[in-house]
Amino acid sequence: MLRRMKLPSSQSWSRFSDFVRTPSLARSVTGLLVLAFVLLLTVNISTFVMIQRTATVNDAIEHAQQMRRQSRTVLISMLNAETAQRGFLLTGRSDFLTPFEEARAEREPALAFLEEGAAADPTLRAPVAQIRRLSDAKLREMEATLALAREGRIGQAIQTVRSGEGKRYMDELRQTIDDFDAFKSARIAERTRVSERAAMMTVVMNAITGLLVLVLALLSAWMVRRYVGEIQHAREEVAAINAGLEDMVRDRTAALTRANEEIQRFAYIVSHDLRAPLVNVMGYTSELEQAGKIIERGVAEAEAEREVSADIVTAVREDMPEALGFIRASTEKMDRLINAILRLSREGRRNLLPETLDMTAMARNIADSVHHQTEAAGAQILVEALPSIESDRLSMEQILGNLIDNAVKYLDAGRPGEIVVSGEDLPGGWVVYRVADNGRGIAARDHERIFELFRRSGKQDRRGEGLGLAFVRNSVRRIGGSIDVESELGKGSTFLLKFPKRLILSEPGGVL
């Protein structure tokens, strides 16, 4: 299980590393796209960071502005309180004290806000503490005068005001708050500038990246276009080569057909011309035989009268008839061979006529036709159900007939003969037929030879010219098939025939 899990992953890894190592268009395009994607991602991240930072800066600026406002609130509340204090001291009317209380109430949250801000920023601690101290002191001074006034000691209260202590506190407070304000303003300006620069940078970077991505996209598009162009070109080339190949095959086939026809014609002419001298050899051999008989008669007459030399008697009665016998036998054999070549060439020029053939019936007919031979030999022929074929009837009959004849002819006398004809359809539009026997078999070195003209194999105890299998192979090839033999000497032979299921001729009735 582990192996099965690992195998594909290691395979895909090696495929991936191959892909990376091998320079190819797919690799370049993929690289460009990955680069563009990385650039876009970088820009996105930096923009996001920029936005975050800008938001932070804006918050800080907002806070600083609030600090400024609150410091102003402290000052204003103190001024309001002072105004109320002076009014009360002048008029003694208690309604002047309400604004004082209001001012004091306003001061407290403002101060608290400032102190909170200062807690986060150490640089602000000193001024804020100063503001608290001075405003506290001023408040205390004002409360003291008010207390004196409420007790009726107005003069003493005015004296306190007049001493200028309160004014001094107030002046210092004003100064401190002005400084604080200026400091804060400068800081806001600084932060705004930094923020603007960063925003500018982001814009520029975005623009550059956008441009780069555009360039990368154009580059990939160009490469893909070029690649498609190359593929198109290659395809056209292949198509052209293909067309050329078809033409070549047609030319070759035509040339082969021509060559084949020439050979057939040649064989025909040669065998005819060979026949003419043979007519003479045979004719004059007969004439010599006639003359020999006359001489023999003369010798017999001479013998009746006197002693005849033994040499003459031997020459006339033995040597001459023997010589003539050999001449006659050889000439007859030569005639048979020439006739075989003629038959072969004539067969090669016969028009083929494809039709659907019931091969089982055909094989049974052939088996029946050799019935008396098989019966005499104690053999039997078993014809299995054979697939049909669309081919030339005469060729198929000759092929099967010849093979079955051979099987019957070369049975092994030592065991009851059994010949089996079988066959089946093969994928790809082919049919195979088998003629198997348990006869004497063929030695391996003769497996090719037996198909050659005038060649025979094994014990020469049967009549024959060595033509049958040569004819069979010739016919098999003519109808587009092939023939093979599997055999072991002393065990039996199987002849394998392979044919196209449908014989298609290049021209109707033509020669393959």
Partner 1 sequence: MTQAVKIIMVEDDHGHAKLIEKNIRRANISNEIKHFDEGGAALDYLFSAEILANGPLLILLDLNLPDMSGTDILEKVKADDRLKRAPVVVLTTTDDKVEIQRCYDLGCNVYITKPVDYESFAGAIRQLGLFLSVMQAPEI
Taking the least distance from each CB to partner 1, the nearer of 281 and 315 is: 281
Q: Closest Cα to residue 404, out of 493, 476, 502?
A: 493
**Nearer to partner 1 by C-beta: 278 or 315?**
278
Q: How far is the CB of 349 from partner 1 (least distance, A)?
A: 10
CA 476, 480, 486 angle in degrees (round to 5)?
Answer: 50
Q: Least CB distance from residue 262 to partner 1, whole Å?
A: 16
Decide: 423 and 386 in contact? Cβ < 8 Å: yes
- Nearer to partner 1 (CB atom), residue 213 or residue 282: 282
Residue type for 239, please?
A
* CB closer to partner 1, 33 vs 279: 279
> Do strands 418-426 and 380-383 pair parallel, antiparallel, or not at all (unpaired)?
parallel
Closer of 229 and 277 to partner 1 (Cβ): 277
* Tokens describing residue 60: 């800080």
Residues 6+ apart with CB under 8 A from 260: 348, 511
CB of 339 to partner 1, least distance (A): 9
CB of 333 to partner 1, least distance (A): 11
Minimal distance in Å, beta carbon 279 to partner 1? 5
CA-to-CA separations, 387 to 247, 378, 428, in angstroms, rounded: 35, 28, 15
Helix extents (H) in 349-450: 359-369, 371-377, 393-409
Which lies closer to partner 1 via its Cβ, residue 30 or residue 339? 339
Closest approach, Cβ 286 to partner 1, in A, equals 4
Q: How far is the CB of 351 from partner 1 (least distance, A)?
A: 13
Give the footprint of partner 1 on this chain (CB under 8 A): 268, 272-273, 275-280, 282-287, 331-332, 335
Q: Which is nearer to partner 1, 242 or 286 (CB)?
A: 286
Asked whether the beta carbons of 488 and 458 are under 8 A apart, the reply is no
> Do the beta carbons of residue 213 and residue 36 sit within 8 Å?
yes
For residue 344, give every residue at least 6 positions away whose Cβ sits within 8 Å of its Cβ, in sequence order, or none.
267, 453, 467, 470, 471, 474
